[in-house]
Structures are given as C-alpha cells and as structure tokens.
Amino acid sequence: MSKRIFALSSLIVFAAALPLAAQTPAALKPASPGNTAGSNAKSWSLSKTPWGDPDLQGTWTSDDTWGVPMERPVSYGDRLYLTEDELKAREKAVAQSKQRIENPSDENHSPAKRQLEAAAKGETAAPAAGAFGRGVDAAPVPGQFGEYARRASKQTSQIVDPPNGRIPELTAEGKAKQAAARATRGKTPETWTDWSIYDRCITRGVAGSIIPVIYGNGLEIVQTPGYVAIRYEMVHDTRIIPTDGRAHMPPGIRSYMGDPVGHWEGNTLVVETTNFNDKMGIGPNGGGIQSEDMKLTERFTRVADNTINYELTVDDPRTYTAKWKIAFPITHEPGYQLFEYACHEGNMAMRNMITGTIAEQAAAAAKKN
C-alpha cells in the first residue's frame, strides 16, 4: 500500500471554517430513516436465535461512516450532529457517489477512468474536488475500491465522547510513545519494522478492523449457544467471544486482538477485551497508540433489520487521561459479501517498498560521488 493511500485512510482532521451553533452532545441515537437503514420502527422487532439470544447474525459493514472523521474538527466544538444544511450537502455528495459507483458508465467518468486516461498521456490526473475523505464535508471515495457510504451519516465525528469529539490528552507515557511512533513514520522506511502492523499484514486490531477505510470494511457475525463469533474481512481476524462472562485469561497471555469476554444486557451484546500487547493502537487500520493495560468495551445493539449500533469505549489510563468512546452504526447491504483477504501471502508491497528505498539511497549516494 502506498504511503499516500495509507495517509488518506488515516482520516486526518482539518479545521472547517463553518459557523457553529452550540449544541448539547446527545448519546448516539438509534438509527432513524434517512440516517441509516432503519426499517420502520413500528413494524420491526428483534428476532432471537433458537436458543434465545438476540440475533445479530449476518454480514455487516461500516461503509456508511466512511467520510466521517474519527476526530471532530475543532471548529465544530461540542456538536456531534450536522445541521440540516450540512446534512443536505453530505446527502448530495453521498447520492452522487452512490450513483456513480452503482451505475458505472463512460459518462460517469470514475476516477479510475480519468487516471487511466491521464496515464496514457503520461500525466497524472488531478484528484476530484472534495475527494478522499478529508473532514466532515468530504465526498466518499468513489469507484475503484468498491466501498462507499450508501446513506449520509449525521455525525460530525466517530468519537462521541468526550463532548468535543476528540481523543483526550495523552499521559506522559502516551506522549513519549506517540513521539517515538512519529519519528519512525517520519524517517525513510528501510526495513519492515519501519512500516505499520497493517502494512506488514499482521492485523488491524479490534478497533481498526471496524473503523471504515477505503476497502475491507465488512464483518460477519455467527452465533452459537454460549458464543458470538465476529469474523473481519481485513485482515481475516476472528474473535471468538464467550458470552458466559467468564474471567479473562492470565496476564501472561497477550495478543494483538486481546481476550474478549461477553455478556448480554437485554438486547445488547457487551464485550470486554483485555490482555492486549502494546504494538499498535486505536484508529483506522490500527494506527494510534495503546498500552498493555488497555481495556476495550464494545456494545452491539441491533436496532433494525439491517442496522446494528456499535459503540467502542477505550479505557487506557496509562495512555489517555480520560476514557473515550467511538460510536456509529454498521449496516447490512444486499449483495455485499466478504472475500478472503490473503494480505501477507500477496504482500509484494513490502518487498517493493524496501527495494525502492534502497534504490533511492543508492541513487542519492551515486549523485554525491
């Protein structure tokens, strides 16, 4: 994966110059028509599995939240939801993108087509206006990657708590870790450890496997008495979640995806995950930082035939000075399926990136001599 695409998929925040109306942050509302799928609330009721657990099964995607930045632009203040006008603008962009992707044609001029046309002339196509998901009012990436928002999210950010929608201040330990990570990212990558856990095709972690990026946003839930299993497309991780509220594994066992334990609270599946290693973080594609003491608490609540409300609370006092929470719906879309993502098996990029650096360095050295 090129560094540019990787950076794009990190959803960098920028300050939007929009007038603000102060608004009390509200808890994430259940899906409503126009925001997410939401079948008519009156006629829908949650079905249960034959053994009596709420049925969350099926294929789900976080596509509808693509384009919503994880951290809220500072200018939005404490406002979690878009105004009516802002929402209309986003709905328009989403509709255009959806139309373009679902009806590819010569007239649509998908970016792929423009890029190929430009390359044939030996040029580079300029990105379309508002493209590539920077900030609240961006249009979702259309076309060539296949994942796209089908409905306009009302949210200004994925983070819904603290009230300003931004990651809380880091502790001293967190800041030191972040500085070290930035130093690594800033230097010319020479070996595999200079690349992210994702680029190395190891995993994207618990949060990174569901926070939407340009592709690979799908997951599948399969249940059986006593367990809920979640299988993620990218990078083919499976979490086996026992729902008997058993104890976590001993602290000596640490892993990238941690040890999940679940229980039902009414119709909500609550999952607590501990026993993490500290090699990655909370963010798109597993970027960010965390400590081994991090505890993640997720809540999955099905609110419509094709909508599950998802919440993720990050509790890591060694890294962050406060807990923080991400929330967005995941939806079921007709025709959407998961594919095998044999990342490591096909990771020619790592080899190419390292040899590319070597070639650059050799060229620079040759110039000197």
Partner 1 sequence: MQKRFLGALIAVLALGGSTFGVPSVAAQTTAAGVPRMKDGKPNLTGLWQSLSTADWDIQAHGAQAGPFYQLGAIGAVPPGQGIVDGVEIPYLPAALEQKKKNFANRWKEDPVIKCYMPGVPRSNYMAFPFQIIQSQKDILIAYEFGSENRLINMGKPQEAVTDTWMGTSNGHWDGNTLVVDVTGFNGMAWLDRAGNFASDSLHVVERYSLLDANTMNYEATIEDPKTFSRPWKINVILYRHREKDARLLEFKCVEFTEELIYGDLRKKAGK
Contacts with partner 1, residue ranges (CB under 8 A): 49-51, 57, 190-192, 200-203, 220, 222-227, 229, 231, 235-238, 240, 242, 246-247, 249, 253, 255-257, 259, 337-340, 342, 344-345, 350-351, 354-355, 357-358, 361
Residue 290 CB, shortest distance to partner 1, in Å, is 16
Q: Read off the tokens for 225.
A: 């008495």
| Residue number with CB closer to partner 1 (133 or 208) | 208
Main-chain phi, psi angles of 177, to 5 degrees: -65, -45
Residue 209 CB, shortest distance to partner 1, in Å, is 11
Residue 230 CB, shortest distance to partner 1, in Å, is 10
Count of Cβ atoms closer than 10 Å to residue 99 Cβ: 11
Main-chain phi, psi angles of 341, to 5 degrees: -115, 80
| Residue number with CB closer to partner 1 (105 or 337) | 337
Residue 214 CB, shortest distance to partner 1, in Å, is 19
Residue 258 CB, shortest distance to partner 1, in Å, is 9
Residue 211 CB, shortest distance to partner 1, in Å, is 19
| Residue number with CB closer to partner 1 (19 or 50) | 50
Across 186-201, b (16+ Cβ under 10 Å) vs e yields eeebeeeebbbbbbbb
| Residue number with CB closer to partner 1 (125 or 227) | 227
| Residue number with CB closer to partner 1 (175 or 351) | 351
| Residue number with CB closer to partner 1 (129 or 247) | 247
Residue 171 CB, shortest distance to partner 1, in Å, is 27
Q: Are 232 and 256 in contact (CB under 8 A)?
A: no
| Residue number with CB closer to partner 1 (88 or 344) | 344
Residue 341 CB, shortest distance to partner 1, in Å, is 10
| Residue number with CB closer to partner 1 (181 or 222) | 222
Report how far residue 346's alpha carbon sits from residue 342's, in angstroms, rounded to the nearest whole number.
6
Q: Are 58 and 338 in contact (CB under 8 A)?
A: no
Q: Read off the tokens for 148.
A: 């796209």
